[in-house]
Structure 1
Amino acid sequence: PAVRPSRCHPRALPDLRSTPGDDSGMAALRAFIERFEGGVLLTAETAGRREAFRERLQAAGLQPREVGDWSTFVAEQPGLALTVAPLDEGFSLPDAGLAVVPETALLGERAEQRRRRKHSPDRDPDAIIRDLTDLSIGAPVVHEQHGIGRYQGLQTLAVDGVQTEFLTLEYSGGDKLYVPVASLHLISRYTGADDEAAPVHRLGSGQWEKARRRAAQKARDVAAELLDIYARREAQQGEPHVVPADDYAQFAAQFPFEETPDQQTAIHAVLQDLQQTRPMDRVVCGDVGFGKTEVAMRAAFAGIQSGRQVAVLVPTTLLCQQHYQNFIDRFADWPVRIEQLSRFQSAKAQAKTLEALNEGRVDVVIGTHKLLQQSVRFKRLGLMIIDEEHRFGVRQKEALKRLRANVDVLTLTATPIPRTLNMSLAGLRDLSIIATPPARRLAVKTFVNEWDDTTIREACLRELHRGGQVYFLHNDVESIQRAAETLGELLPEARVAIAHGQMPERDLERVMLDFYHQRFNILVCSTIIESGIDVPTANTIIINRADRLGLAQLHQLRGRVGRSHHRAYAYLIAPPRRSQTADAVKRLDAIASLEDLGIGFALASHDLEIRGAGELLGEGQSGQIHEVGFNLYSDLLDRAVKSLKAGKEPALEAPLEQSADVELHIPALLPEDYLPDVHTRLVMYKRIANAETGEALRELQVEMIDRFGLLPEPARNLMEIARIRQQVQAMGITRFEVGPGGGVVQFGDAPQVDAGALVRLVQEQPAIYRLEGQERLRFKRETETAAARIELVDWLLEAMAMKEAA
């Protein structure tokens, strides 16, 4: 309002982004501010980003005032101001002496990356397994130093007059261990067996050390085997795929949908793998209908353009037919020959396909296990795409294992089996997760019921009345006819047909196509539909005796419905809980509780708990994984691999990585009135403790401010302690304690500190600083407030830090 329209001639901002030596662009900003007498308004996307931006500005000596909007800014005195406004580009009004500078103008690409992360949540598979989600009272958890106990909730205690929140663990004999929330990086969920079967250790008994030693020994043996496979893969220096950029861009543009962020990430990772000389072995995990097939088609296009042949291995003839049709449609504008190999084909047609494959005249072949037979020969196989690996038997997997040494392998799965999950998390196989649902996709509403005629009839009629279709799954071929007759009596208005794997191929194909074209509206079927054709109008599935099916199967079958924007329903029919096995109850509870979109990977981790983790490379179950939990076993395995790679013998007696202990005797917690939900508080504590960089902590702080409001002082202290721990751990300091009158610094075996600076500190101020041997520095300094204590710690760390050589 204070600016006349005639004076408003906006101009683009100059480049204010960070330059070498000016990490945050502040020098350029200062020079820019001096040119505008009316004032400069800085903007941040959210309240959380505003607080993080303010910290950067204050660190650079800039003190912006906070304003609510543009009118307030213009009406008040000139100077630097800060507000929340999601602007992508800024502008200046030279005639009015005003300018608007968004945070993105200073941080450039970093802000864009942050925005992408905001819309594409962290899908780190390791973090999914390690976090403390779904943790209930009595659940087993692993403390790296004390072993496996039972979680008993969060408890606030006063220690030396300071309020601190603790995680309470109960051990054998009723012993309790109180773990400060700042040390939750030492805690992980126990995964490796179900809750009842998990061991409970006795504190101070040596039991945990023995279990850990046995696990370390096993990890060393497995690591040697892993390295042998690594070495064979590395030795196979294949020819990298070279994809013409223009051709690829044209092929990608023909995709009729918009890629989700996770899908883009997976495609990029696959293409990067294909351009390496080392053979690819990547698992792409994504729910049914989340776009895994498009990832496979992009990979296939890269293979074909590089002059290689591509094989697509599928578990069923129906899926073979569907993929064949999809590939034909997708590659319609390209000179690509695509064939299929399954029992739907005649022997003569199969022989022709095999001959063309051998001569290199077929670019893509899509087939069932027939592709693994000795009679199948390729002229130049470059890429093997495997859909739903868990559907293949041991013998077929052995044949696939032989391929992995010299052929690029891409595995697609909705719920990876425990061993695939293990190998992926152990780094033997790369993993991409597609967890972002397509636009307008709704989650499938899931019910677990006993058989009830009224419920079955209502469920079917609801679907039929909205013009939809129903799958009725009855996985017993001998009684499937009787089940269809029962359903026909319940629903005389419905048109019912039957489909199962023992039908002649042509009859099965005809029934499935008739169902697709809505010639009948209820399909009584076996699990042959698990990987079948997509029927967008089928949005209700009833699974009879769901307790007899595996978790991955249930998830796959549920994914048969809900393929369009309509709400879909899944009814899992099972006998009373007392008649089911304990594992069946857990499977049904897991599938019913996890009905959100994109939870295939979470279900796989539940499967890991229900079925046991299994050895990474063998057929047997690993007692060591059961004894110490999957997370710790993975850590031990990772360390053993690194030691062997460095030419060292993995140390069985070596303690786990020494964690740094920071104690400032100040309130450091998320107050209950700030974050009332105990479960959410626990997850946030774990995320803060596990943050590995200062940037990760800042992003977490931004998220918390956006979700819960400005941080109260105890929460800010908690973040500061987490930041300090990162620094002291990197410097090899094991303990840093500061109280009102001074403190102590305990050094590890090989501290990364400037010894000269430390000696000078003691010599120049002997009344304040004193060395106790080579391991400890004691000091006396009065610090009454939390801010003063944090400032003192930062100053000391700065003084002791090793200076980089000029």
Structure 2
Amino acid sequence: MERILEQLTGAGYERVAQVTTRGQFAVRGGIVDLYSWQAPLPTRLEFFGDQIESLREFDIDSQTSVRDLRFADILLGAADDQGATVRDYIGRDHLKIAIEPEECFNADIQISAGWTEWGPEDFSGAFQDCEIGEFAIGDLMLAEAKRAQFAARLREWRANKAKIIIYFQTEGEIERFREIMDEKETLDSVDLVEGTLARGFCFPAANLVVLSAAELFGRLAAHGRRRLRRIERHRAQIDFSELTEGDFVVHLEHGIGRFWGLQRVGKDEVLSIEFADEAKLYVPLEQAYLVSRYVGVGKKSPPLSSLGDAKWTRAKKNAAASIFDYAGKMLALQAERQTHPGHAFAPDSKWQTEFEHSFPFRETPDQLRAIIDMKIDMERSQPMDRLICGDVGFGKTEVAIRAAFKAVMDGKQVAVLAPTTVLAQQHFEVFRQRMLDYPVRIEMLSRFRSQSEQKKVLRLLREGGVDIVIGTHRLISGDLVFKDLGLVVIDEEQRFGVLHKEKFKELFKLVDVLTLSATPIPRTLYLSLVGVKDMSTIETPPLNRLPVETVVSGYDERLIRDAINRELERQGQIFFLHNRVQTIDRARDRIVDLCPEARIEVGHGQMDSDELEAVMARFVSGKVDVLVCTTIIESGLDIPNANTIIIDRADRFGLADLYQLRGRVGRAEHKAYAYLLLPREMMAIGAARKRINAIKQYSSLGAGFRIAMRDLEIRGAGSILGTAQSGHIMAVGFDLYCQLLKQAVAQLKGEKLRVRLDVDLRLDFVATNEAEFVHLGPQARIAAFVPSSFIGDASLRIRAYRDIAEITTNEQLERLMRDWRDRFGSFPSAVDNLFLLTEIKLAAARSGVSRVEVRERKLMLTRRGDFILVAGKFPRLVAAEIEQHLGEVLELIKKL
């Protein structure tokens, strides 16, 4: 085992407490976790002495094993002393074919340094150019006017005895194609195949024609559809025990303080927390569950609480009362909607099934779940009111499109509301493209339309001549009348004003409402709102999404020029982020000098709103190559063609902000790049450099960044809950807010909710920490704690105590024991006893016992304020061995 650890360190693997990304390993007793550079999932090795007893893969989020392995390849990845060029690997007698050879050298600026000895021209000189043949196929889009033309091409190919193969992404596309072509042409000699092909080609030399559904249906589907991961990824619940020195924390009983790390007091390990007036509180590790990381909804630091002050108790009471009212109003609103008669939409029609089969991508599990939820709601007789949360590009719009199509198939009209004209225009184009082959009339109402066009749309809406109308708040003005409105889709509701929201409630009380939000919602809040608000979350990124390549550099104009030119060469667009309005025009001028051929515009928050919207519209439509902007970058917009972001003075942004900004690119199937530029003098030092290194390290989707992403989500939670509730999140912290909300919902619904076991244990023969056990010795006490020899990392031990404190059922206890055995190996007796103490608490809670005390072998049990006596006496522990006493206590409680 030691030899393996030495090899891993020598090969550049980093030793950490918990493995979260490739190139890391962790050691816990006889267990070694490691994430090999090439592996899809990390590997867990369990040793018995120097022998590997078990080998298994585990999931990063839950840290638990998912399947056993017979063997595993570990790529050490150590650098070879002797370098080699590509030429060394190619023999003189081999045939070499390079398709678009310049792409080999333009793919990534980071490989250019490796061509110092052998330049591109030297490399390409070894190859002979040759023409393979014409691979063009022309425009085959199956719009109505072009179907006859395509049928003629098909006859021509068949007359020449060509082999014809057509690739379709789904079985539904094949059926749709058969239906379209039946009237025009027989398809007997054409191979219709289910598979993935981005574009078709003709190969005359082989008399072969290969076509793709992308060309036939007029859309180029994203290629490289990746298989679903073997494990359905679930985001881990917010782990507020991830504490670092200087973090604000919430102590359940004392309020908001500042965490200053773990310290030794005597032989005991404690959490050191500072409160107002520099007062210190030392919290034993076994009480770590009382402490959680403070996260508010803004960036403002909270005031520290005073120890012994009644202010904290008042803040908790006020928050609890307000949360109770808030939950009550939400439940009342839900109940009121249930009493209103709505339209029950019919089950899916044949056209609906075909329409959904023509979707060019594979739906993610979250997306499918949201679609099913939406359809169940629509087919009920009560009006739907569902919120769908998910990042931009995660597939919320497709859910809305299917809902709209379902409504139109049932003869109803649909209104789609967007907060900005640019977003409305984007929805208009996407909806039109998706429904191109169906008799659905879609119109738009916004400032992009003339007065006469708007009047015509208003008339058609009244007469029922428009099926779907898309627009801004213009859709809620008084002159707009629908013939038969059945569904309203509201995108980014939190960005509409209060008056608009009140109008929504008034106008759309009896119709189905589907609300979309690009603000990801924290899992804890989601679970707290279950049963109060109908919500679906889409957390799985699309299958074709690639991680963003992150380059960290000192400010370098040559790098900026190369990055912009490289993106322009592949017809892409670029964000250049300069976050100071005062100097943004100077930044624009520098970019103009570097890339005079690029179309460059400026966008920032101090511009006139109409002017900014016009700039964003030009950028979305591809009329601008480089947008020099502040952090105003539109969060709801999907700009798949923008795949490079250059962030000037990246040191001025926090980790969470950098992560969010980097997420603005990488939404198409193309590789995306984020360039983080620092002042030259900061390249080697400082906290900013650490932040930048962290974001560079975690370039894979969703890896690491748990705290950063959650901070972002929690800031967004304020926009979902509203301003008043944001104040309470600020006052008591997000973790406690969610607990109080969950309790309020359960209370209003008349359900029992046990947050933690409320049983007081006082056993004079048990040592619940290492210091006490060492001081009194094994003759006087038995150990019941998590020893540092079992879980070495302090933050993992804090998490372990929190996990145990949150157990409320025997099933949870058994699951936790399984997880710990898997992650940490065989239990020492101290951990066995700790689980036995939890079992005693569970048994006591079931029997209504609130306190279990043992004093000099006398067992004193308290229920509803009274002692429980057996034959008028306290029961006594009779076993000779002290190790057997816990088992005795458990059996005596069970007999109750």
TM-score class normalised by the smaller sequence: 0.5 to 0.7
Preserved contact between residue 288 and residue 798 of structure 2 (Cα < 8 Å): no
**What code does the residue aligned with 1:120 have?**
E
**What code does the residue aligned with 1:144 have?**
L
- State the partner residue of 1:534: 639
- Is 1:495 the counterpart of 2:611? The answer is no
- State the partner residue of 1:200: 304
Query: When the two structures are superposed, what TM-score results if normalisation uses the length of structure 1?
Result: 0.66
1:367-408 CA-to-partner distances (Å, cap 9, x unmatched) read 223223222322333332222334333333333343564333
Preserved contact between residue 169 and residue 176 of structure 1 (Cα < 8 Å): yes
| 1:539 CA drift (Å) | 1.9
Listed as ranges, the matches of 1:323-362 within 5 Å are 323-362=427-466
1:742-783 CA-to-partner distances (Å, cap 9, x unmatched) read 54433346x9xxx9xx77xx23xx6xxx35xxxxxx542437
Q: Within 2, Cα distance between the matches of 1:253 and 1:47? A: 38
Calculate percent identity across the aligned residue pairs: 40
| 1:562 CA drift (Å) | 0.6
- State the partner residue of 2:849: 733
SS across alignment from 1:311: strand
Aligned match of 1:406 in 506, 510, 513?
510
Preserved contact between residue 390 and residue 417 of structure 1 (Cα < 8 Å): no
Q: Within 1, Cα distance between the matches of 2:557 and 2:829? A: 59
Listed as ranges, the matches of 1:351-750 within 5 Å are 351-403=455-507, 405-415=509-519, 425=529, 428-444=532-548, 453=557, 456-457=560-561, 459-461=563-565, 463=567, 468-473=572-577, 483-492=587-596, 494-498=597-601, 502=610, 512-514=620-622, 521-524=625-628, 527=632, 530-536=635-641, 538-543=642-647, 558-571=662-675, 597=701, 605-607=710-712, 613=718, 616=721, 619=723, 624-640=728-744, 659-662=758-761, 665=766, 666-737=782-853, 741=857, 743-748=859-864
Structure 1 residue runs of 5 or longer lacking an equivalent are: 1-45, 51-65, 70-82, 88-115, 579-583, 648-654, 772-777, 801-806
**What code does the residue aligned with 1:408 have?**
D
Q: Within 2, Cα distance between the matches of 1:458 and 1:336? A: 46
Query: Could you say if the C-alpha distance between residues 495 and 211 of structure 1 is closer, same or farther in structure 2, counting changes exceeding 3 Å?
Result: closer
**What code does the residue aligned with 1:495 have?**
A
Query: Could you say if the C-alpha distance between residues 572 and 271 of structure 1 is closer, same or farther in structure 2, counting changes exceeding 3 Å?
Result: farther
Structure 2 residue runs of 5 or longer lacking an equivalent are: 1-41, 47-51, 56-65, 71-227, 604-608, 683-687, 767-781
Preserved contact between residue 757 and residue 807 of structure 2 (Cα < 8 Å): no
Preserved contact between residue 744 and residue 779 of structure 1 (Cα < 8 Å): no
Aligned match of 2:415 in 304, 311, 314?
311
- State the partner residue of 1:798: 894
| 1:286 CA drift (Å) | 1.9
Preserved contact between residue 331 and residue 532 of structure 2 (Cα < 8 Å): no
1:537-565 CA-to-partner distances (Å, cap 9, x unmatched) read x3211356889999999777543311235
1:429-448 CA-to-partner distances (Å, cap 9, x unmatched) read 34433222223533335679
- State the partner residue of 1:285: 389
**What code does the residue aligned with 2:848 have?**
G
Preserved contact between residue 757 and residue 842 of structure 2 (Cα < 8 Å): no
**What code does the residue aligned with 1:732 have?**
G
- State the partner residue of 1:300: 404
Query: Could you say if the C-alpha distance between residues 455 and 622 of structure 1 is closer, same or farther in structure 2, counting changes exceeding 3 Å?
Result: same
| 1:136 CA drift (Å) | 1.6
**What code does the residue aligned with 1:357 have?**
L
SS across alignment from 2:592: helix
Preserved contact between residue 261 and residue 271 of structure 2 (Cα < 8 Å): yes
SS across alignment from 2:462: helix
SS across alignment from 1:472: strand
Preserved contact between residue 601 and residue 615 of structure 2 (Cα < 8 Å): no
Q: Within 1, Cα distance between the matches of 2:616 and 2:253? A: 58
1:289-325 CA-to-partner distances (Å, cap 9, x unmatched) read 2222223233334434444333222233333333223
| 1:253 CA drift (Å) | 3.1
1:239-282 CA-to-partner distances (Å, cap 9, x unmatched) read 34442376655444333222223323333333344344554433
* Superposed CA RMSD: 5.3
Query: When the two structures are superposed, what TM-score results if normalisation uses the length of structure 2?
Result: 0.60
RCO (CA 8 Å, sep 6+): is it higher in 1 or 2?
A: 1
Q: Within 2, Cα distance between the matches of 1:587 and 1:282? A: 38
1:492-535 CA-to-partner distances (Å, cap 9, x unmatched) read 5x5334376756999976764445xxxx8544468575444533
SS across alignment from 2:359: coil
- State the partner residue of 2:157: none
**What code does the residue aligned with 2:279 have?**
G
Query: Could you say if the C-alpha distance between residues 551 and 781 of structure 1 is closer, same or farther in structure 2, counting changes exceeding 3 Å?
Result: same
The structure with the greater share of residues assigned to helix is: 1
Aligned match of 1:119 in 231, 239, 249?
231
1:539-598 CA-to-partner distances (Å, cap 9, x unmatched) read 2113568899999997775433112355423356799999xxxxx999999999987635
Q: Within 2, Cα distance between the matches of 1:399 and 1:591? A: 42
| 1:228 CA drift (Å) | 4.6
Q: Which moved more, 1:498-507 or 1:245-254?
A: 498-507
Preserved contact between residue 287 and residue 598 of structure 1 (Cα < 8 Å): no
Aligned residues, how many? 652
Q: Within 1, Cα distance between the matches of 2:599 and 2:850? A: 70
Preserved contact between residue 157 and residue 165 of structure 1 (Cα < 8 Å): yes
- State the partner residue of 2:257: 149
